[in-house]
Structure 1
Amino acid sequence: MANVPEVYAAIRDVMADIGQTGITKSRKNQQQGYNFRGIDDVYNELNSLLSKHNLVIVPRILTRDVAERQTQKGGALFYVTVEAEFDLISAKDGSKHTVRTLGEAMDSGDKATNKAMSAAYKYAAMMLFCIPTEGDNDADSTTHEVAAKRQVGWNAAGTARTAHSLKKEKVWDEFQVELRECETIPVLSKFTFDWAAKIEADKWPESWKEVAREEIQKRRSAILNGASDDDTFPGDLPSRRELDQHPLTAG
């Protein structure tokens, strides 16, 4: 076929060469015992083939997301996801083809982003050049045990905590700090919307939700009336009758 960009011929030639040897899964995951191919194995195999067939790969990171998790032993674990593009460029005619993929990794130190970028490159190469494999699907060399996300508002026995117990939770301090920073009704409305999502995600018990609603209503009244906040914690109120008289629950 006439006028076919050289980049596709180069990809075909690399694919044909690497298909004869493949990349053996010679490394072993120490936690779970399975074999895998590391990023160095991919680099070592592709380096000479890319040069031989006049093909250049130029990486580009588009996005990076990071979240902090906790290990089973209570340590910090950083979970990073990157979205990356790789330009495959023919050194013969400058023709280019771009592929996009994701890379994910976890690390307890400062290597999570490095690992995620390596994973993105490795799997882009695996899929692009159809590199032969053996055994199970590939994975990183280490496996981290991540603690299950704690559901606030529930004790070890699985029973709901009282409204008064909310004062002892770190999340309540965060709630109060952000609430007191709300000085206008629009800002308070956004705060309420954002925290409603957090509360549902963390499965707060109804008693805690009631306390949050009361505090938001108090802040709203303070903003509208220009009055100081009432520092009484709703969970400390002595009777149900007084709670029923609160503007939020009384309508």
Structure 2
Amino acid sequence: MSVYKAINAVQTALAKTGITKDRTNNQGAGYKFRGIDDVYNSIAPLLAEHGLCILPRVLSRHCDERQSKAGGALFYITVEVEFDFVCAEDGSKHTVKTFGEAMDSGDKGTNKAMSAAYKYAAFQAFSIPTESDNDADSNTHEVYSNKPSMDQKTLADFLAAIESCTTADALKATYFEAIKSAGDDQEASKKLIAAKDKQKGKV
């Protein structure tokens, strides 16, 4: 099966240079990353030289709509993709499956997710040397939490319920319900934890 010889030939060539993180994310922390263009530019000539084709096949796609902190819509896309690495010499192939994730405020989410899947399929199949850990996308989105904060009356009711517990089982059940209702409200969670710990010594 010549496909493995072709993959190894591409690996050998990439082992000498790798693909470094030359791009900078200008949002958020400003980290370095490797874009899909860097991958294409590095491996495309080698694929042609060694008679290796990479053919994608999307197995599934999932889309969740979220809200940004600015109030706009964000589309969170996940794709499951198989890539057939096919040798042009004898038609032998090896299939690699990866997942791609991306978030976008417009119509580019699926494109970005496909690019991510391809990029990491290439990095893993060819063992391409990199400078450090796997990178994220070039764009950073801040997602608004859809879990509401706990209002003061509800918090007061839960605190009173915790303080009135007379058994460990009742305390555990009441606290679990309370902390679940608090969601992402960190301040409410701290007060509930403190009340639970205080009552724990009394039951």
Q: TM exceeds 0.5? A: yes
> How is 1:165-184 mapped onto 2 (pairs within 5 angstroms)?
none
> How is 1:72-151 mapped onto 2 (pairs within 5 angstroms)?
72-151=69-148
Alpha-carbon offset, residue 30 of structure 1: 1.1
What's 1:54 paired with? 51
Aligned equivalents of 1:134, 1:101: Cα separation in 2: 21
Identity %: 61
Task: Structure 2: state its 5+ residue gaps.
Answer: 158-176, 183-203
Q: After superposition, what is the alpha-carbon deviation per residue over 1:18-76, rounded to whole angstroms, capped at 9, x for unaligned?
A: 11011121101112211010000000111100011110110011100000011111111
Give the secondary structure class of the aligned counterpart of 1:159.
helix
1:134 counterpart letter in structure 2: E
The structure with more radius of gyration: 1
Alpha-carbon offset, residue 160 of structure 1: 6.0
What's 1:33 paired with? 30
Aligned equivalents of 1:37, 1:94: Cα separation in 2: 31
What's 1:11 paired with? 7
Matched, 1:65 2:55: no
What's 1:181 paired with? none
1:13 counterpart letter in structure 2: A
Give the secondary structure class of the aligned counterpart of 1:142.
coil
What's 1:22 paired with? 18
Greater strand share, structure number? 2
Task: Structure 1: state its 5+ residue gaps.
Answer: 163-199, 206-251
Give the secondary structure class of the aligned counterpart of 1:135.
coil
Alpha-carbon offset, residue 87 of structure 1: 0.3
1:141 counterpart letter in structure 2: S
Aligned equivalents of 1:158, 1:30: Cα separation in 2: 42
Aligned equivalents of 1:134, 1:158: Cα separation in 2: 52
How many residues are paired up? 160
TM-score for the superposition, normalised by structure 2: 0.74
Alpha-carbon offset, residue 150 of structure 1: 1.7
What's 2:162 paired with? none
Aligned equivalents of 1:119, 1:107: Cα separation in 2: 13
TM-score for the superposition, normalised by structure 1: 0.60
What's 2:188 paired with? none
Aligned equivalents of 1:41, 1:124: Cα separation in 2: 14
Give the secondary structure class of the aligned counterpart of 2:154.
coil
